Amino acid sequence: MNLTLHVWRQKSRDTNGSFATYQASGISPDASFLEMLDVVNEELIAKGEEPIHFEHDCREGICGSCGMMINGTAHGPMGGTATCQLHMRHFNDGDEVWVEPWRARAFPVIKDLIVDRSPLDKIIQAGGFISVNTGSAVEANTLPIPKPVQERAMDAAECIQCGACVAQCPNGAAQLFTAAKISHLGLLPQGQPERYERVLKMVEVMEEHFGSCTLFRECEAVCPKEISTEFITRMNKDYLTAQVKR
């Protein structure tokens, strides 16, 4: 496969960026999108040019670090798929492909396709944990949890903190991410003692850095783990309850 790539290049967050055009030649249809970028980078290095900088780690759709906009869509054209698991067979020979970093004011560009996603960490730091003050952890099997509750908590816990929901949202909102983190703890018995304190803290930090949700549901459409916007409804309900309790 031969493709024409238009890639966003930006030296640092303090400089202006622009698109640069590259040719990706002889790409295997079975290669992943990141492997295709590796091939392009090898050619750039051989020419003495600076390679395209992008973030990655596991390349198994688990770590959430590989996110980028591909033809205007977070993680590319395949639903329920992270960029590292997107294969070139989903493109056509001769295609022009536009590659950009996450589009969100909350995620400033560090270099090329790498962005600063630390605002998501601040939400987690505000309350995305369960406090254990004394003793050792209780044996998990001694806490009976109904299967529907367990499955719903695990659905929320699948969030890999990639930031696609923020990047795709027209408002740059982080409600889907925050709701998933709140729900996977708040649904389980271990998370009940801090349930309402947690939602207040995490939502307050979220509102400092991100836009407001108007339920376009584009977040749900591009989430590589297909997390449902139903968790946003649950978060809003808990938040209102927490405000009344306060």
Using a cut of 0.85, tell me whether the model's pTM lies above it: yes
Same domain, 131 and 58: no
Looking at every residue in the chain, the average pLDDT score rounds to 95
Rounded CA-CA distance 75/85 in Å is 9
C-alpha 144: how far from chain center: 32
Same domain, 12 and 104: yes
Look up tokens 């303090």; give the residue: 14
Q: What is the CATH number of the domain that holds 26?
A: 3.10.20.30
The enclosing H or E element of 114 equals strand 114-115
Last residue of a domain, one of 64, 83, 111: 111
Please name the residues in contact with 57: beta carbons below 8 A apart, sequence gap of 6 or more: 63, 65, 66
Residue numbers of the domain that contains 73: 3-111
Rounded CA-CA distance 155/135 in Å is 29
Rounded CA-CA distance 91/97 in Å is 9
pLDDT tens per residue, range 39-73: 999 999 999 999 999 999 999 999 999 999 999 99
Same domain, 104 and 148: no
Structure tokens at 78: 């395949």
Q: What is the CATH number of the domain that holds 234?
A: 1.10.1060.10
Same domain, 89 and 123: no
Return the pLDDT at 134: 63
pLDDT tens per residue, range 113-160: 999 999 999 999 999 988 876 677 677 677 888 999 999 999 999 999
Same domain, 148 and 220: yes
Last residue of a domain, one of 61, 94, 111: 111
Last residue of a domain, one of 89, 111, 133: 111
Same domain, 121 and 239: yes
Same domain, 30 and 97: yes
Return the pLDDT at 17: 96
Rounded CA-CA distance 102/190 in Å is 34
Number of domains in the chain: 2
